[in-house]
Chain A
Amino acid sequence: MTDTMRNILYFGFVALLILGTGIFSSWNSALFILNFGLISAIMALGVNLQWGFAGLFNVGIMGFVALGGLATVLVSMPPTPGAWAAGGTGILLALILGAATIVAAVLAYARLPVGKLRAVGVIAVLVIGFFVYRSVFDPAVGAVEAVNPALEGYLGGLGLPILIAWPVGGLFAAGAAWLIGKTALGLRSDYLAIATLGIAEIIIAVMKNEDWLARGVKNVSGLPRPAPYEIDLQNDAGFVESATRLGFDPVTASTLWVKLIYAGLFAVVLVVLFVLVQRALHSPWGRMMRAIRDNEVAAEAMGKDVTARHLQVFVLGSAICGIAGAMMTTLDGQLTPGTYQPLRFTFLVWVMVIVGGSGNNLGAVLGGFLIWWLWVMVEPIGLSLMQFFTSGMADGYWLKDHLMESAAHMRLLTMGVVLLLVLRFSPRGLIPER
């Protein structure tokens, strides 16, 4: 069997899984899986760029995804009336002051002579800068958060179309990745892992607590959509007519149609990104990346700047994750910082890449769809399994209740088992690197 045949079989199987969900469950949930599968595939492409091409171990995907989500709010929500006047300039000024403090501290560290003077100087700059920053920042934040706190209480966004937020999300993620890469790349691989794990937690903490930015845990809902609203479609005579002609009732048809529009948009992004990374993989640049991955010392001896190339690929991969994050928040229609969980957003993507086949873009896409399907379906499957096992027990028996309740936690267990099995028996994944 040729590689192409096998790939077609794999993707056909995944298509069958999704179609089967549509036939046996509902088309809405099948399209739901498809949409999130597309997004997951994009995330997996980003991680594959870092891990498969360059061997960089990033466990902060959640943070980059969340930054993409933040971008949707900052770009697409209308600016809050009065908030900018109340404290917007103050916040901006404070942020500039904070950045200036850090720059001054770095300059002081570089310029002052080594010794006590340098330590004292740097600390003095930081402490004074911090208090100046807080004295400007705090009142401004208070003023912004006081503006209509029940509904707004944040600066709002730029009021631009939400599609612009997708590349902006990529830029945000790229910026964060550059900062992390600059510090942690070039050290041992474990350090990058810890550093990314940390930055992801911090990004989430900032998004949860800085209410002026995107309302924190109060969430921003009602993001503008690139697709029409279901209710508008249902009131549109032309749409209702064509739906009934096709034999759908208008309500179902409208929900399906909206999901299909999203699926189309996501598919375009996925195809574009896929072509780009595929071209990159087979270009001299991609060959250089893999050469660096396989033997850093030899690549360095050939005159390749390993750290700079690592930084480059790390930023690019994170940017793709940021784009995916922006798309996901767009699909959700709301930004809920409380729902970002590392197990779901970081480690699940890792399972996708490893299972699909690290180093192979097609594999990453396959892994994205397959594992996402599994992640969604494990819960109902686990529940029916539990029902089967406990069918002999009397209702209300404590073990039965406990087992039924814990079926929801089957997901993590299954993902762990899948990951370990693939790593053990097929370490190169379903579609191995050529």
Chain B
Amino acid sequence: MDFLNAIVALSNFVLVPAIAYGSQLALGALGVTLIYGILRFSNFAHGDTMAFGTMVTILFTWWFQSMRISAGPLPTALLALPFGIAGCALLVLFTDRAVYKFYRAQKAKPVIFVIVSLGVMFIMNGLVRFIIGVDDQRFADGERFIISVRTFKEMTGLDEGLAIKTTQGITVVTAVIVVALLFYFLNRTRTGKSMRAYSDNEDLALLSGINPERVVMVTWLIVAALATIAGVLYGLDKSFKPFVYFQLLLPIFAAAIVGGLGNPLGAIAGGFTIAFSEVTITYAWKKVAVYLLPESLEPSGLVQLLSTDYKFAVSFVILLIVLLIKPTGLFAGKSV
């Protein structure tokens, strides 16, 4: 019984949140890694792209709510998501036309692209703050829990409860669908294959008649969709705050690099690696330890390795270790 309780406590506080967070990071890292693979630079504006897409979604959510359109037990934001993606896609396509295209034509060095993306980051960040402000916005509605602690306890008769929030369920389901679609697209369709070809060897791809501008456009569309979905899922699960999205850049980049920049499979693995390490290292293990250890050994403190304020440190340390030991990432990504 104690053992079951320990497992339930573990799932409630570590596994479920980490899986949801990992899915969100994986989606974000997929966007970063795609841009890196196709456009060959690290996009510092990615966090703010996520924030912009999420903001558009929130605005539509509010509009739908005011018209009393809802998705029943599901959050209204899911209905608004396509509009958010469309808004975000318009913005990134516009930035590509107005900003990045010039440097692509010049064949500028990657680091110039990175600096340009800093400028884009400033502008997007400013836009988001300008339109929606800097405050916390909560926009989750509908049913709050798939299983609440009380129902779980009644069902199983255990002391520990397990709560699965609707948003967590939605996150995982959406992430699985999106990733499946993405891999189908990249591996099976003609456009997807041309994207991979372009990423592997630009010159060869151009020689075989692949239109680079089209590849770039499709990439931005996919990135806009991934960023908006990742941002909305994160916002539903926690809350929307522009500055937090900017800070998400670090774990997202860490996930992409740990997995191997430019490698989509690696981005997913990296996302979960980072999420699980963050949650396990900052979780207070006392609750689990109490069930597992005999009474004499019970810990007096919280058994928390690091306080939650240091969660960035965790992703960073993992990043450093990977850089030191295997600079190309877990799944061999692009060059060193």
Q: Contact between A409 and B247 (Cβ–Cβ < 8 Å)?
A: no
Q: Quick one: closest A residue to B312, CB to CB? A: A201
Residues A413 and B327 in contact in the complex (CB < 8 Å), given A194-B257, A201-B247: no
Selected from A190, A198, A209, A420, the residue in CB contact (under 8 A) with B120 is A420
Q: Could you tell me how many residues of chain A have their Cβ less than 8 Å away from some Cβ of chain B? A: 45
Query: Across the interface, do B313 and A202 meet the contact criterion of CB distance under 8 Å?
Result: yes
Tell me if B313 and A419 are in contact (CB < 8 A): no
Stretch in A181-189, A254-262, A305-313 touching the partner: A181-189
- Shortest distance in angstroms between B40's beta carbon and chain A's nearest beta carbon? 10
Confirm or deny: B115 has a beta carbon within 8 angstroms of a beta carbon on chain A: yes
Is there an interface contact between A423 and B125, defined as CB atoms closer than 8 Å? no
Task: Please determine whether B42 and A208 come into contact, CB atoms closer than 8 angstroms.
Answer: no
Given the interface pairs A191-B327, A195-B319, the reply to whether A201 lies near B250 with Cβ below 8 Å is yes
The residues in A between 185 and 228 inclusive whose CB is less than 8 angstroms from any CB of B are 187-191, 193-195, 197-199, 201-202, 205, 208-209
Residues from chain A with Cβ under 8 Å of B310 in the complex: 202, 205, 209
State whether A184 touches B323 (Cβ < 8 A).
yes
User: Is B183 interfacial (CB-CB < 8 Å)?
Assistant: no
Check if A202 sits within 8 Å of B316, measured CB to CB: yes
Main secondary structure of the interface of B (DSSP, over half): helix
Pair A197/B249 contact, Cβ less than 8 Å:
yes
Cβ–Cβ contact B126 & A416, under 8 A: yes
| Residues of chain A lying within 8 A (CB to CB) of residue B124 | 416
Count residues of B near A (Cβ-Cβ below 8 Å). Answer: 50
Question: Are A413 and B42 CB-contacts (below 8 A) given A187-B323, A201-B312?
Answer: no
8 A Cβ contacts from A379-428 to B: 405-406, 409-417, 419-420, 423-424, 427
- A130 interface hit (Cβ, 8 Å): yes
Per-position contact with A for B98-111: 1 when CB-CB < 8 Å, else 0? Answer: 01001000000011
Given A209-B307, A424-B102: A191 and B323 interface contact (C-beta under 8 Å)? yes
Q: Is B233 an interface residue (CB 8 A)?
A: no
Shortest 3 CB-CB contacts between residues of A and residues of B: A416-B122, A413-B126, A416-B123
Q: Identify 30 residue pairs between A and B in the complex whose beta-carbon atoms are under 8 Å apart, listed by A's number.
A: A57-B114, A138-B301, A184-B323, A187-B323, A187-B336, A189-B114, A191-B257, A191-B323, A193-B44, A194-B250, A197-B250, A198-B319, A205-B312, A343-B246, A347-B121, A347-B122, A406-B129, A406-B130, A406-B131, A409-B126, A412-B122, A415-B122, A416-B119, A416-B120, A416-B121, A416-B126, A417-B119, A417-B123, A420-B116, A424-B102
Name B residues whose Cβ lies closer than 8 Å to a Cβ of A.
Answer: 41-42, 44, 99, 102, 110-112, 114-116, 118-127, 129-131, 133-134, 246-247, 249-250, 253-254, 257, 261, 301, 305, 307, 309-310, 312-313, 315-316, 319-320, 323-324, 327, 335-336
